[in-house]
Each structure stands twice: as C-alpha cells, then as structure tokens.
Structure 1
Amino acid sequence: MKLMLATFFTAVTLPCVADLPITQDELVRRTQELYDALVPAHQAPWKKYFADDCIFADEKGRLFDKPKLIADIKSLPTGYSGTIKIENAQSRIIGNTAILSYDADETETIFGQNLKARYHITDTWLERNGNWQIIASQAHRYYEDPAVGKGDPKKFAAYIGTYELASGQTRSVITEGDKLLVERNGKKEQLLPETSEIFFRKGVEG
C-alpha cells in the first residue's frame, strides 16, 4: 500500500500556488496597497512589488530605477495628507506577464483645502520564480480644471499689476467688479480661485 501511494504521488503533479496565474483582483489589491503606503511613507510594499530591474516613468516624464523610486517615497510635509484610489481597472494576463491599466484618483488635502487630480497608469507585472513584480510602470495626468474654490475679492487688489514673464512677454492682472482677470493683447480671461491664493484659467493647464 505504501509503495502504491508513493507511486501515485510521484506520477501526479499537483498544482501549487506559484503555478496559478495571478488575477486582476489581486493586481488591484497589491496596487492599492502601494498607494495606501505613500502617505505614511511606508516603503516595504514598494520594495516588495517592484522588481530590482524595474523602470518607472512618472506623470512628469521622469524616469526612476528602483533605488531612486524607493528614495522618492518620503513623508508628506506638515499640514498635507491625501488618498489615491484605483478606478476603471483593466488587465491582460498571458503566461508570466500581466498588464494592469487603470485610473488613479488623487485627493490631496493641504491645510484643510482639497485638491484633486486624475492619472492613467499602466503597470507591467512579470512572474519570475513564482514571484509577481512590476517590471515597468508609466503614468500620465489627465487635465481637468480644479474645483473652483473660494476667493476673497477684498484681497484682489494685491494682485493688480503688470507682470513680465519673459522678455517681451507681459500679462496684466486687473479686476472688474468682484472678478480677477488676466489680460494679454486686449484679450481678457477670468482667473478662478483654486485656493485663496492659487488661481487658474478655465480649460488651461499651468
């Protein structure tokens, strides 16, 4: 009987966890774990889930290897906090390669004021020796107008003036009623408050 059992288990290859393909749910779970670790500057998940030979390209086009990526994970300044949540995830999993593409919705809180941004990120996971890690990651930022904050028209007078951005490049900041505007070559655009001291033009990034 012992001989028969030994023969049976030798002949049959039982599946192990490492042989099973990773799932989209598991990829999303691991990725969310990475983002949840950013605010407390917890580097362990990033060391665990990024391959030693990875390439990471952020939304500004900067390239990082793993040491630079890990070194960039630092505690937020006092008064800052935030969250990043994964949305609209899609994946393709073939053999030992998995691609996860998703939106990352970021809410950053700066001294009580919320700022929002959205990114689209594509991660390539590679399984080596039963271990799934990110070998490449690339992000880009969706441009969306920030939520309009609350400005104080009584303070707008402090911004009035002509500003030279470069030689021959000037902008004038003026007020009309309770609106703050920027004027160039006779064209006026309203400056909308993102915070009490940060303004933007509708549909214009930067």
Structure 2
Amino acid sequence: MRHLLLFCLALVFTPPVFAAGTTTDAELLSIDASWNDLRLKSDVAALQRLIADDWLLTHSDGRTQDKADYLGELRTRSRTNQGIDNEDVVLRRYGDTAVVTGTSVQSGISNGKPWHGRFRFTRVWVLREDRWQMVASHSSRVAE
C-alpha cells in the first residue's frame, strides 16, 4: 500500500514530459495555419498567446520585428493582411521543436501602401508550458 501511495504521488507531481508526443502533425499544422487566420483578422489578443515573448520576425527585405512592434502595427492597423494562401507546407519535428516551411502568396496594406508577393517561409515552433508557441518566422520573396 505504501508503494502504491508513493507511486500515485510521483504521478501527480511529475511534469508532463510526453506532451510533445501528444500533439499530432495535423494538430500542429492547424496551429500553424491559425497564424495566418489570426493575422487576417488582426486578432492581437489571440496572436499575443500564439507568439512567444522572445519571437523574432525577419521580413523579406531583411527588416526584423519583435513581438511588441509587430502586434503594435496590427493594433493600430498600420499593417493589414488581406489575403494569405499557403502551398507546399512541410512540417518537421524535433522533440519539443517543430519547423514549418512552405510557399505563401500574400497581399495587404502597410502604411497606406498596397503590397503583394509570393514568399518562401520558415516558422519555428517550440512547446512551452504545454502549448506550442512560435519563436521565429522568416520570409524570402520569390521572383515572379
């Protein structure tokens, strides 16, 4: 009985080390796709949870933005996405880290000017405190 009690206590106080294995590839790709949906809606509150505090975005022109700056643009609507279509999306998993790559055709308005482009993207996701968060995103413009 004593061993059973110790075993039960160990189960209760042991952190969930298998959480990364419980998320299917389809679920993780759905989380990644939500990044686009939330940007189209300019849903700053939901993006606040999806993006890690140490997140870094590298734009196709080499400019970088941190979380606060990017969400500030969305909050003030100085940047809006109007269309995002992804193709050739590939997921690679490395334990508590996942890398998603693909091609994206996007359009929007930034500082009053419309833009459109085809990009290759790489996004890095890390499992932290039982939820996946994006820690990095990079895009490179593809010649049209």
Structure whose CA Rg is larger: 1
CA contact (8 A) 2:97 2:127 kept: yes
Structure 1 residues 89 and 46: alpha-carbon distance in aligned structure 2, compared to 1, 3 A threshold: same
2:30 pairs with 1:29: yes
Alpha-carbon distance in 2 for matches of 1:70, 1:27: 22
Identify the residue that residue 112 of structure 2 maps to in structure 1. Answer: none
Matched, 1:103 2:117: no
Task: Confirm whether residue 134 of structure 1 aligns to residue 128 of structure 2.
Answer: no
Identity rate, percent: 23
Alignment match of 2:77 (pick from 70, 75, 78)? 75
Query: 8 Å contact 2:125–2:135 — kept in the other structure?
Result: yes
Consecutive unaligned residues in structure 2, runs of 5 or more:
110-114
Secondary structure of the corresponding residue to residue 143 of structure 1? coil
Q: Structure 1 residue 94 and structure 2 residue 101: aligned?
A: no
> Which amino acid is 2:37 matched to?
D
What are the ranges of 5 or more consecutive residues in structure 1 without an aligned counterpart? 110-114, 145-206
Q: Distance in 1 between matches of 2:128 and 2:40?
A: 30
CA distance in 1, matches of 2:31, 2:103: 15
Name the SS of the counterpart of 1:70 in structure 2: helix
What is the aligned counterpart of 2:8 among 7, 10, 19? 10
8 Å Cα contact 2:87/2:103 also seen in 1? yes
SS in 2 for 1:122: strand
Structure with the larger RCO, 1 or 2 (CA within 8 Å, 6+ apart): 2
Count of aligned pairs between the two proteins: 135
Q: CA deviation at 1:117?
A: 2.3
More helix by share: 2
Is residue 32–residue 85 contact of structure 1 (8 Å, CA) maintained in 2? no
The TM-score, its normalising length taken from structure 1, stands at 0.53
Poorly superposed stretches of 4+, deviation over 3 Å: 6-9, 11-18, 74-77
Following the alignment from structure 1 to structure 2, what is the Cα–Cα distance between the partners of residues 143 and 63? 21
